[in-house]
Structure 1
């Protein structure tokens, strides 16, 4: 069981309303661009996503003129066509959202094939969970290739400590898509935290079909299996299949079984009956990515010299109606720092 003071929690997690200090005033950026209109291609799984809104707003507020080529990818099999089109149009910069799309554009840093990936146009990525473990970059401080970007996940040990502030956790279940490399990395890291943080991990990967595609219909069964094994909490990481596309199924099934849920990303907590999350606001992550793009386009920095960073502050969200249904009431030390959702 994890024992952990509020002061330690606040200092370690950096929890507050997530803000962004770029250190570069908007008018100065606009003037530095000298009226040039930049062409930026955005590759995203959804157009109405916080990262995209924040990224665009940064450039609008900085008075930098941009023409956007918006490419919404709902099927990763379409990526080859988008990459070929970008080779033809050659935008000034490419903005990618999430790990799978970023990997599809850049390839692995130690084995990137220029015939399959884009290696000669600057790329800024947003909300990539672990760029080093996913082989997007060899180093956060010095990316060393044609890309940089932002991470959006709080340190995993801080997430587990946050869960333990809500209730003692002896068994923590993780439900995830093993076809998403960032989630395999997350599960591996969570496994290493079992002994130092005093919990048992219940490993619940989504099963694969004969074509090695995840079977989303099996997700409720995984929640039920976690319940039978005595899970105190269900952890949902930055997982597109489980967290983004099936968050309501996870939340509803878990709530019916009286198991609290924690999510590492913002939208599943806001859009379903997950109990709580420790998150970076997607809008602010996108704004931060916009700033990094401006360093390249306006500031003239090579992408490989711009460090990959995470916002320094995270937002803690609790859904009070879910807590009431679970008969699990947040301690005051959590309510003091939380964004409380009452509907």
Structure 2
């Protein structure tokens, strides 16, 4: 090898070393400018443990994110106004996180298909028309399903407390609650269980009149199923006013545990937040299209059975028949 070749190779090696040194010593602000992602977080009733978990886990996964948060305050008109006013800015975001069915469906109506979207704490994305199937999310969107299906919930309930008649409480103004009540009604019919559908709007002016009318309806049922309704969570103090202490009550959301509900099969908000963060990380870091990630749902075997230890009706449950892990709240 002649001297010229040796000199050329030495020059190339020195150049590479210099570039490597520049990358290592580059100011962190310059490095972050290429890696910081912009995320719009849209919530329905303030930041919940799901969002706190999402943010914390996203950081652990190595996603440097600038998160802008907007809360709808349970006002769909306010949310739509924000989306309309900020639509151009929103279309330049790297990702949109949405909490709950109403927020997710409202964003869907604004056709921001170019922005990846991850939803969380949605009860029944298929039932409300967000997706044709859990393994077939719509283009540009995926997410974490919160509750088990009404069919599975009824099956698991029957394992620890067989019922012949069940009431289902739902807010008729929330599409996810109506869809859940419909599916529970169908599942109960297939099992030969009589069902009584009870409508309740806890934030309406005539709340006390509704409560007085609902109480007699529960005198001849074995249990009551409380659908996943944001209005019920926001006005949880109304549930014990309706449900007798000795009546077994089942909630479809872990948010109800501690609000007078006897039992819930499901997962914590924190766990769903971590799952949503893992999806977001794959989208942002690995460039995986959202619709290539199936909507995540916990299985019946993975669900935890949460028991309200202060609820009198809990003594009626045959927990020895449960195959799920039991946690007392």
TM-score in terms of structure 2 length:
0.81
CA contact (8 A) 1:223 1:250 kept: no
* Closer/same/farther in 2, CA of residues 331 and 121 from structure 1, 3 Å limit: closer
Q: What pairs up with 1:1-343 in 2 under 5 angstroms? A: 36-74=35-73, 75-89=75-89, 90-107=92-109, 116-206=110-200, 216-221=207-212, 223-228=214-219, 230-242=220-232, 244-256=233-245, 258-270=246-258, 272-312=259-299, 313-323=302-312, 328=316, 330-334=318-322, 337-341=325-329
Alignment partner of 1:316: what SS? strand
The aligned counterpart of 1:26 is: none
2:130 aligned counterpart, secondary structure: coil
Alignment check: 8 A CA contact 2:124 2:149 kept: no
Gaps of 5+ in 2: 1-31
Structure 1 segments unaligned to the other structure (5+ residues): 1-32, 108-115
Cα distance between partner residues in 1 of 2:143 and 2:37:
18
Cα separation, partners in 2 of 1:329 and 1:167, compared to 1, 3 Å? closer
SS in 2 for 1:55: helix
Distance 1:218 1:246, change over 3 A: farther
Question: What is the distance in 2 between the residues matched to 1:336 and 1:193?
Answer: 21
What SS is found at the alignment partner of 1:251? helix
Q: Which has the higher contact order (CA 8 A, sep 6+)?
A: 1
Looking at structure 1, the residues matched to 133 and 84 of structure 2 have their Cα atoms a distance apart, in angstroms, of 28
Distance 1:283 1:199 in 2: 34
Displacement after TM superposition at 1:38 (Å): 0.7
Instruction: Check the 8 A contact 1:120/1:146 in 2, yes or no.
Output: yes
Would the aligned equivalents of 1:154 and 1:278 in 2 still touch at CA under 8 Å? yes
Against the structure 1 CA distance between its residues 139 and 170, is the aligned structure 2 distance closer, same or farther, given a 3 Å change threshold? closer
When the two structures are superposed, what TM-score results if normalisation uses the length of structure 1? 0.77
* 2:311 match: secondary structure: helix
User: Any idea what SS the aligned residue of 2:137 has?
Assistant: coil
Shift of 1:336: 7.5
Distance in 2 separating the partners of 1:316 and 1:281: 11
Q: Secondary structure at the match of 2:158?
A: helix
Q: Deviations 1:203-256 (Å, cap 9, x if unpaired)? A: 1123799xxx7965455235403223x0111101111123x1232321343135
Any conservation in 1 of the 2:306–2:327 contact (CA below 8 Å)? yes
Q: Which string of whole-angstrom CA distances, capped at 9 and with x for unpartnered residues, describes residues 125-172 of structure 1?
A: 012122122121233223232211111111322211232234331110
Q: How many residues align?
A: 293
Return the offset for 1:117.
4.0
Counterpart Cα distance in 2 of 1:46 and 1:207: 16
